[in-house]
């Protein structure tokens, strides 16, 4: 779920409020790797396989919210691929940040040891 605060000006009228969004049943393919020579994890693959369903609702403007929410149902169909790419970019960044944190912890715990494995896919 996400909330976005908006402010727009149409003709001479200022409109502001909140947009609440919800994405359900999204499925991603994430492949992580680990190099046993350098003790570093990496994100090998990240892509969304099933984009699920997106719903948006507006609040803060009474009747205008109801009309906007109904129009958004139709527009979301066309914006769905763009929204999914934005989410994919944001989530992939979070996964990469997590891997970076793991690498820092592993690096601080281990010295230049050796392993019989060169690379592992998870």
What is the arithmetic mean of pLDDT over 44-60? Answer: 82
Domain housing 22: 2-121
Number of domains in the chain: 1
Q: What pLDDT, on the 0 to 100 scale, is given for residue 97?
A: 92
Closest CA to 89 of 47, 44, 29, 31: 47
- The CA–CA distances, whole Å, from 114 to 42, 49, 84, 103, 106 equal 18, 36, 41, 16, 14
Element (H, E) at 92: helix 63-109
At 116 the pLDDT is 46
Q: How far apart are CA 62 and CA 58, in angstroms?
A: 9
Q: What is the pLDDT of residues 70-81, one digit of tens each?
A: 777 777 777 778
Give residue 85's pLDDT band: very low, low, confident or very high (50, 70, 90): confident
């Amino acid at each position: 779920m996400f909330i976005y605060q908006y402010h727009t000006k149409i003709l001479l009228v200022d409109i502001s409020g909140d947009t609440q969004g919800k994405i359900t049943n999204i499925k991603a393919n994430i492949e992580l790797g680990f190099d046993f020579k350098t003790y570093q994890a990496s994100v090998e693959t990240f892509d969304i396989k099933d984009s699920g369903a997106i719903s948006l609702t507006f609040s803060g403007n009474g009747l205008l919210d109801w009309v906007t929410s109904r129009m958004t149902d139709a527009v979301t169909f066309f914006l769905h691929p763009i929204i999914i790419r934005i989410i994919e970019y944001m989530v992939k960044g979070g996964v990469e940040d997590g891997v970076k944190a793991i690498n820092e912890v592993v690096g601080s715990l281990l010295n230049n040891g050796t392993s019989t494995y060169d690379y592992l896919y998870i």
